[in-house]
DNA sequence: AGTGAAAACCGTAGCGT
DNA sequence: ACGCTACGGTTTTCACT
């Protein structure tokens, strides 16, 4: 049922993925040794994994605090049920906001769950919340602040857009 | 290796961060050209950013679908309010679960918000939900599963633990 | 598909500006 | 601090096993 494209990934491929997930800059020589291969076939496998889109990209994980984006907010959004077009418009608007680092269509209490990363709460209210409320499809927003993060899913397309 | 690093990010540093956030494997020569520097000082700045822990790590972004982890679930957890120790025990238990890729202490309706990545719903129920409910601190769990992801915060410490 | 060589390429340390 | 140059290491291609 829910185990589709496992095909083509053998044990060595999974080892490679595990290593690169932890450190994407692992030199190919080290990677080869860790997975029990010599450098050449290891490099080939990585290339193939990239072409097959199993390895989608490589990202640097940046300290949110260091760049002044220390506030994370989750917003549960309820939209009007009458029109799919409205929902599409909502999604498109959200995709255009760099402060919104994640957007999921979810079951349960809300329709969408958004993760927003911003410098402070005032910015959230002034920028994101206001923009979201202006969208006609949005019926309700429940905001919940992350007071502390014990574990985070790491690399994020942060909004580093404050240049002199 | 870990320093405060609150200070000293100029425009070039931010440019470097933006590039590496998009592609952590950008060759130093290319990076240097993009930010308007020659290779050596560019390399030096990257090293400094790493030592200052502004660049925390580099991660490969792996297709969840390709490795058979196609289900994402959000769990809003309410814990007993009477004891901080219970909350600590809860956090420790959660940190030990590789399926839980994110754990935030949040304001609002719930106390914790968890993001869980697993092969299918059955695994969620059998593994994660069951384990969480067994914790004495947990009073209530609201599960909401991601039916579609329009944007995701990217690199994640996925649980690739199914090896021959 | 994996191995082992050689050649091109890149990263970085040292020194001069 | 930046830029130039040189050296050591890495990546990658190739013919072969």
Choose among A3, A17, A162: nearest Cβ to B119: A3
Query: What's the CATH number of domain A11-60, 1.10.10.10, 1.10.260.40, 3.40.50.2300, 3.20.20.80?
Result: 1.10.10.10
Q: What is the pLDDT of residue A159?
A: 61
Determine the protein residue whose CA lies at the shortest distance from the C1' of C13. B40
Residue B52 has pLDDT above 50, yes or no: yes
A152 touches strand D (CB under 7 A): no
Band the pLDDT of B3: cuts 50, 70, 90.
very low
- Chain centroid to CA A114: 11
Integer-rounded Cα radius of gyration of chain B: 20
For residue B158, what are the contacts with CB-CB under 8 A and spacing of at least 6?
Answer: A21, B62, B64, B67, B69, B101, B117
Cα A51 from Cα A54, distance rounded (Å): 8
CB contacts, 8 Å: B21 with chain A: 59-60, 62, 155, 157-158, 160
Q: Could you tell me the distance in Å between the CA of residue B26 and the C1' of nucleotide C5?
A: 28
Q: What is the pLDDT of residue B163?
A: 31
Determine the protein residue whose CA lies at the shortest distance from the C1' of D5. B40
For B71-145, which CATH class?
Answer: alpha beta
Residue B138 has pLDDT above 60, yes or no: yes
Pair A63, B56: CB distance under 8 Å? yes
Q: What element of type H or E holds B142?
A: strand B138-151
Q: Which nucleotides of strand D are protein-proximal, with an atom < 7 A from a CB?
A: 1-5, 9-14
- Chain centroid to CA A91: 15
Band the pLDDT of B81: cuts 50, 70, 90.
confident
| Most A CBs within 10 Å, among B6, B64, B66, to test the A interface | B66
CB contacts, 8 Å: B156 with chain A: 153-154
Nucleotide nearest to B40 (CA to C1'): C12
User: Hunting for tokens 């990010």 — which residue is that?
Assistant: B9
The string of pLDDT tens digits covering residues B103-132 is: 999 999 999 999 999 999 999 999 999 999
Min Cα–Cα distance to chain B from A163, Å? 6
Buried b (16+ CB within 10 A) or exposed e, A69-104: bebbbbbbbebeeeeeebbeebbebbeebebbbbbb
Q: What is the pLDDT of residue A160?
A: 55
Whether residues A113 and B71 touch (CB distance < 8 A) is answered with: no
Q: Which residues of chain A have pLDDT under 70?
A: 1-7, 153-164
Q: What is the pLDDT of residue B5?
A: 41
Q: What is the pLDDT of residue A152?
A: 82
Which of A122, A121, A77 shows the shortest CA–CA distance to A103?
A77
Q: In the predicted model, what is the mean pLDDT of residues B96-102?
A: 91
Choose among A21, A95, A146: nearest Cβ to B59: A21
- The answer to whether domain A11-60 and domain A71-145 are alike in fold is no
B41 touches strand D (CB under 7 A): yes
Torsion angle of the four alpha carbons B122, A49, B156, B140, in this order, in degrees rounded to the nearest 10: -10
Choose among A14, A52, A115: nearest Cβ to B153: A115
Q: What is the pLDDT of residue B2?
A: 35
B40 touches strand D (CB under 7 A): yes
Min Cα–Cα distance to chain B from A120, Å? 15
Length of chain B: 164
Look up residue A72 and give its two tokens.
Answer: 């994370």
Cα B134 from Cα B142, distance rounded (Å): 15
Q: In the predicted model, what is the mean pLDDT of residues B19-40?
A: 95
Torsion angle of the four alpha carbons A146, A149, A150, A151, in this order, in degrees rounded to the nearest 10: 110
Taking the stretch 20-49 of protein chain A, residues with Cβ within 7 Å of any atom in nucleic acid chain D are 27-29, 39-40, 43-44, 46-47
The string of pLDDT tens digits covering residues A69-88 is: 999 999 999 999 877 788 88
Cα B79 from Cα B89, distance rounded (Å): 11
**Sequence spans of domains, chain A:** 11-60, 71-145
Q: What is the pLDDT of residue A86?
A: 80
Residue B154 has pLDDT above 70, yes or no: no
Q: What is the pLDDT of residue A120?
A: 93
Q: Which nucleotides of strand C are protein-proximal, with an atom < 7 A from a CB?
A: 1-5, 10-14
Residue B71 has pLDDT above 70, yes or no: yes
Whether residues A66 and B6 touch (CB distance < 8 A) is answered with: yes
Report the mean per-residue pLDDT for chain B.
88
């Amino acid at each position: 049922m829910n185990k589709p494209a496992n095909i083509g990934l053998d044990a060595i491929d999974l080892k490679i993925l595990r290593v690169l997930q932890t450190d994407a800059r692992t030199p190919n020589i080290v990677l080869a040794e860790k997975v029990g291969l010599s450098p050449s076939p290891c490099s080939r496998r990585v290339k193939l994994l990239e072409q097959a889109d199993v390895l989608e990209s490589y990202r640097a994980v940046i300290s949110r605090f260091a760049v002044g984006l220390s506030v994370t907010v989750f917003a549960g959004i309820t939209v009007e049920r009458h029109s799919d077009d409205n929902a599409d418009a909502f999604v498109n608007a959200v995709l255009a906001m760099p402060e919104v680092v994640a957007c999921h269509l979810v079951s349960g209490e809300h329709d969408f769950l958004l993760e927003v990363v911003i410098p402070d709460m005032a910015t959230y209210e002034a920028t994101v919340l206001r923009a979201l409320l202006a969208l006609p499809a949005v019926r309700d927003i429940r905001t919940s602040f992350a007071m502390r993060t014990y574990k985070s899913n790491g690399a994020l397309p942060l909004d580093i857009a404050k240049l002199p």
